[in-house]
Chain A
Amino acid sequence: RKEVEQDPGPFNVPEGATVAFNCTYSNSASQSFFWYRQDCRKEPKLLMSVYSSGNEDGRFTAQLNRASQYISLLIRDSKLSDSATYLCVVPSDTGRRALTFGSGTRLQVQP
């Protein structure tokens, strides 16, 4: 299994739809997970951390499944402004103090 793996998409959804992305990771000892958002030709920005109990921030919900080693991001009531690439981020499994970024899942919300 790759250190972190995401479906590149694109996910094309209409406004108002609910969409979910999954991300698998290889390091079973990982404790901290994150979702970052990257707009076209912009820098990545933290969207939300992922807690073991799951967490919700407005229309966004992040879940962690340790048994299957994946994290998910659910976006409800999609807005045009949600169009971006969503990067899954996990601790590196090489023992160094760093984070490994997934290649991202592209979301395109259409009117």
Chain B
Amino acid sequence: GAGVSQSPSNKVTEKGKDVELRCDPISGHTALYWYRQSLGQGLEFLIYFQGNSAPDKSGLPSDRFSAERTGGSVSTLTIQRTQQEDSAVYLCASSFQDNQPQHFGDGTRLSIL
């Protein structure tokens, strides 16, 4: 597709379960970003990939959060042992280079019961 694609669009899971969120960036975009949008916290940066490397992981809130990117394309954000405070919309963005405007996906709405 032409835009950033994220899946699933909605995810409901029980506290303590692991979840995986997927992002397909725009073809040819080398930079990929994960953000989290939650009530009271606004939009927060989580992690940045350049190719398959993650030079900036400073926004990951705890060691339960991890992410990887393969083939310079698809990225997966994994949250282990989910907690209720992890409930949020997780947004992925990509750009041609890290100094170019970012294009966002529609996000994954994660709800932890």
The finding on whether chains A and B are genuine partners in a shared complex, rather than unrelated, reads no
Chain B residues in the interface with A (C-beta under 8 A): none
Chain A residues in the interface with B (C-beta under 8 A): none
